[in-house]
Chains A and B, each alone.
Chain A
């Protein structure tokens, strides 16, 4: 499991820019960023090289931010790479909250999944049995 930074933002111009600038000024590098938005607000999810320092920097700037446990897996970088993993979960009747992929270099890509707490153990077990490797933050940011 790795720590993802989740930040709450009002749907007002300049907020995302300020989130990114705040991290930049703290010398923190981002590796993935995705936003889920509604009419009034957005929730931005970021993989950074130093989650704890990122949380401090954002909190200092009065953002509502928290660290969230997500599972990261290495998947083959080919058509069906993600579909196969998701099929394995569906067969085991496991649902996911959300997910995203990045870092497609060469043979493999990183897939991040947010899984509900009560399902995490079973999901990890299911995917391990199916041959997927879980990744630590150091695997991703190196």
Chain B
């Protein structure tokens, strides 16, 4: 029996809020009593987790940041013993310290239901075949899509990412109807098919794509829809609070419905921390309503969005966030992988042959992100040997691939004549099209 979740998706908002309040009270107490970080954080802020009687009281609770999760990895932010944890996922971290998330069986069920909503929004039935080419493994994309598609009744093809020609063969021959992958990979599949002389709109059987893990502009979406002849639904999530499915676009394509029975969302001013009214752009902050293994309280996502005021034409009552408008920090998303420039700096520091100056140049000529890291030779380094220079480029690239899980081309460049001390150096040159604007 497929659970289409109709009742919960159309609950009057006052009922949703009641569910949120009850869940948050349990979350706060579980955090306070089981996670030393939260006990310390609440005590220092003078926040009483037992005295919350309305959702607005949450404005007094302290925030949680990514650094807090990193500082207490691997298991310091777990509210349950490992024996109750059914599954672990991680996001990539600097020099081996990733952020770790755990899921009880109950948490897996929530995650599954949340992702399933995107399939439900796409009108998925037992006749649909879900083609999952998000990466399976420690990243949350593959398994999240897998659980959710299965819960929605689809036949799941867990092909994971890569081997594009095989993806194309499977899409043609096995009748996949819903494509789940990053938007840039979807475009890459379309373009490769076109190069092979195929027409993705006629030779495949896709009617929808559930795409996320990286931002993409409206133009990029239009191009995907034109090439595949399907409808693209944006999906949002982050490993730190669960994975994909925190919010998803419905067929109206007018915002992403939050899963409000599982996440309490606030929009804050990133400078002051003040909660902003619906409609105003700011940073999305999330609190777990019913996550057991790794609940978070007021987690700062660093994603910029707003609550779209009003009710969606689809009739579902969970409020919507707008498509993402950027980040409050310097994090980059490269081929679906989160990368902080500081992670790149950490690798460079281990190479005395290069100076501390660098620039990251991002392009997406063929719709897949290409990254070039430009570095300079340190003046003390003996560069009279070509093989040594090439060796440095190769080694830095290899360490970056190892530590960041993303392929970055490294190029030694001449020192520039721009003075270094003038203000904040422009480290990232993002020439990509179709990411946020345009």
**Which A residues form the contact surface with B (CB < 8 A)?**
6, 8-10, 15, 36, 38, 40-41, 43, 45, 62-64, 66, 68, 97, 114
Among the listed stretches B22-30, B156-164, B414-422, which one makes contact with chain A, having 4 or more residues with CB under 8 Å of it?
B414-422
B376 CB to closest chain A CB (Å) equals 7
**Which B residues form the contact surface with A (CB < 8 A)?**
376-377, 379, 382-386, 389-390, 393, 411-417
Q: A38-B386, A38-B389, A62-B415 are in contact. List 18 more A-B contacts (CB 8 A).
A: A6-B383, A8-B377, A8-B412, A10-B413, A10-B414, A15-B414, A38-B390, A40-B393, A40-B411, A41-B411, A43-B383, A43-B389, A45-B384, A62-B416, A63-B415, A64-B377, A66-B383, A114-B384
A66 contacts which of B384, B386, B390, B412 (Cβ < 8 Å)?
Answer: B384
Please list 5 pairs of residues, one from A and one from B, whose beta carbons are closer than 8 Å in the complex, sorted by A's number. A38-B389, A41-B411, A43-B383, A64-B376, A97-B385
Closest residue of chain B to A12 (Cβ to Cβ) is: B414
Q: How far is the CA of A10 from the CA of B377 in the complex (A)?
A: 12
B384 contacts which of A15, A41, A43, A63 (Cβ < 8 Å)?
Answer: A43
A45 CB to closest chain B CB (Å) equals 8
Q: How far is the CA of A4 from the CA of B379 in the complex (A)?
A: 16
Q: How far is the CA of A8 from the CA of B412 in the complex (A)?
A: 9
A8 contacts which of B390, B393, B414, B416 (Cβ < 8 Å)?
Answer: B414
Closest residue of chain B to A36 (Cβ to Cβ) is: B386
Q: Say whether A68 contacts B414, CB under 8 Å.
A: no
B353 CB to closest chain A CB (Å) equals 12
Q: How far is the CA of A40 from the CA of B375 in the complex (A)?
A: 12
Q: Say whether A6 contacts B413, CB under 8 Å.
A: no
Determine the main DSSP class of A at the interface with B. strand
A113 CB to closest chain B CB (Å) equals 13
Q: Say whether B384 contacts A9, CB under 8 Å.
A: no
CB neighbours of A41 from chain B (8 A): 389, 411-413
Known interface pairs A8-B377, A62-B417, A64-B376. Does A40 touch B383 (Cβ–Cβ under 8 Å)?
Answer: no
Closest residue of chain B to A43 (Cβ to Cβ) is: B386
CB neighbours of B414 from chain A (8 A): 8-10, 15, 62-64
Q: How far is the CA of A61 from the CA of B389 in the complex (A)?
A: 22
B409 CB to closest chain A CB (Å) equals 9
B133 CB to closest chain A CB (Å) equals 32
Q: How far is the CA of A63 from the CA of B390 in the complex (A)?
A: 19
CB neighbours of A45 from chain B (8 A): 384
Q: How far is the CA of A64 from the CA of B383 in the complex (A)?
A: 9
CB neighbours of B412 from chain A (8 A): 8, 40-41
Q: Say whether B383 contacts A8, CB under 8 Å.
A: yes
Closest residue of chain A to B380 (Cβ to Cβ) is: A66
> Quick one: which of B377, B384, B413 has the most chain A CB within 10 A?
B384
Q: How far is the CA of A36 from the CA of B379 in the complex (A)?
A: 20
Q: How far is the CA of A40 from the CA of B413 in the complex (A)?
A: 8
CB neighbours of A10 from chain B (8 A): 413-414
CB neighbours of A114 from chain B (8 A): 384
Closest residue of chain A to B376 (Cβ to Cβ) is: A64
Q: How far is the CA of A6 from the CA of B412 in the complex (A)?
A: 16
A67 CB to closest chain B CB (Å) equals 10
B65 CB to closest chain A CB (Å) equals 39
CB neighbours of B386 from chain A (8 A): 36, 38, 43
Q: How far is the CA of A38 from the CA of B413 in the complex (A)?
A: 13
CB neighbours of B417 from chain A (8 A): 62
CB neighbours of A64 from chain B (8 A): 376-377, 379, 383, 414-415
B419 CB to closest chain A CB (Å) equals 11
Q: How far is the CA of A45 from the CA of B384 in the complex (A)?
A: 9
A25 CB to closest chain B CB (Å) equals 16
4 nearest A-B residue pairs (beta carbon): A62-B417, A68-B384, A6-B384, A36-B386
Q: How far is the CA of A97 from the CA of B385 in the complex (A)?
A: 8
Q: How far is the CA of A73 from the CA of B390 in the complex (A)?
A: 30
